Amino acid sequence: MENGRDSDVVVVGGGVIGLTTAVVLAERGARVRVWTREPAERTTSAVAGALWWPYRIAPLEAARAWALRSLDVYEELAGRPERTGVRLVEGVLGETGRDEVDGWAAARLPGLRAATAGEYRGSGLWAQLPLIDMSIHLPWLREQLAAAGGSVGIRAVERLTEPAAPVVVNCTGTGARGLVPDPSVRSVRGQVVVVENPGIRTWAVSTDPASGEMAYVFPHGDRLLLGGTAEEDVWSPEPDPARSAAIVRRCAALWPQIAGARVLEHRVGLRPVRHAVRLEREVLPDGRLLVHNYGHGGAGVTVAWGCAREAAGLITG
C-alpha cells in the first residue's frame, strides 16, 4: 500500500480545507497527495450552504482576515461560474447591522445597504456575496490539484504519523477529535433540505430573535438549498424528518412559494467547531513536520483560501 514516501506532503482530509490546502501547496511546486476517508462529495463540505460569511468560527479577527483573502480568490473564480461553482449573488443578511461589517468588509462589498421592507420583513443588510455550489466546486478543486501534479487517494488514517512524507497536514475537521486526539473539537450538526427552485434568484439568511432558530435560502440554478440547524454536540449523520419539515416551514415564511416546492434531498453535515481554529506547526519526534489546519466551524468555505495560504507558509516559509 502506498505510504506517502514519494510525496513531499500528505494532506489528511479531503473536504474543502484539505483540497484547497493541497491545491495551494501543489501550485507552489510540492508533490502533494491527499488521503481522505471519504470522497469530497461525502464530506461535510458537500453539505455546506457555502455563502461567503464568517459563521461559528473563532478567533473572529483572524477569521475575518482569512475570509478577505479568500474573497479575493472567489471574486476571480466568479468569472467562470460554470466551471468553478462560484457566483456573486445578491441577498439579505437578516438581523445584521452595518456595524458588523464596518471596519473589515464594508469597503469590499459594493452595493452594501440596508434591506428595504420589500426585500426583508425585518432589519437586515442587502449585500452581494460569493455563493458557492459545492457540487461543482469540490470537483473543480480536485481538477486543479491534478493539473498541478497532485492526487487524491481514498484511505482512512488511524494515526497522523502514518504517512511517511516529510510533511503531513492535518485537515480532518471533526475527525481531529479522535485522531489528534483533540477533545476540544465539537460537532455542531447542520441539516438542510434541497428542493426544486420555484424561481427564487436571491438568497436570504434569517434568525428568529425570540427562538434563535435560523432559516436560510440559497439558490443554485434549478435547486434551492434550505436550512438550517445548529445542534451542538450532536453527532448523528441521519436526517430528522421533523427538523426537515420545520426548516421548510421557516423558509416558506420568507418565500411562500417554497411551501409547495418538491423535495429532492435531505442532507446532514457536522461542523467542526473549536474554541479557536488550530493553524500551527508541530515537529514530530522523528523530525518530520506536522501542520494542523482544522476547527473552522461553519466557515470552512469562507476562510479556505486564507487558511490554506497560511498553512503553506508554515511549511515553505
In the block, cell 480568490 appears at 73
> Per-residue DSSP letters for the chain?
---STT-SEEEE--SHHHHHHHHHHHHTT--EEEEESS-GGGSGGGG---BSS--S-SSHHHHHHHHHHHHHHHHHHTTSHHHH-EEEEEEEEET--GGGTTTTTGGGSTT-EEPPTTT-SS-EEEEEEEEE-HHHHHHHHHHHHHHTT-EEEE---S-TT-S-SSEEEE--GGGHHHHTT-TT-EEEEEEEEEEE-SS--SEEEEE-TTT--EEEEEEETTEEEEE---EET----S--HHHHHHHHHHHHHH-GGGGGPPEEEEEEEEEEE-SS-EEEEEE-TTS-EEEEEE--TT-HHHHHHHHHHHHHHHHH-
Q: Is 249 annotated as a binding residue?
A: no
Q: Is 46 annotated as a binding residue?
A: no
Q: Is 62 annotated as a binding residue?
A: no
Q: Is 271 annotated as a binding residue?
A: yes
Query: Taking the alpha carbons of 230, 232, 238, 242 in that order, is the dihedral positive or negative?
Result: negative
Q: Is 212 annotated as a binding residue?
A: no
Q: d(Cα 174, Cα 138) in Å, to the nearest integer?
A: 19
Q: Quick one: which of 222, 213, 214, 229 has its CA closest to 194?
A: 222
Q: Is 45 annotated as a binding residue?
A: yes
Q: Is 298 annotated as a binding residue?
A: yes
Q: Is 297 annotated as a binding residue?
A: yes
Q: Is 301 annotated as a binding residue?
A: yes
Query: Cα 104 to the chain's mean position, in Å?
Result: 20
Q: Is 207 annotated as a binding residue?
A: no
Binding residues for D-dopa: 216, 271, 298
Binding residues: 44-45, 157, 172, 216, 271, 297-302
Binding residues for FAD: 44-45, 157, 172, 297-302
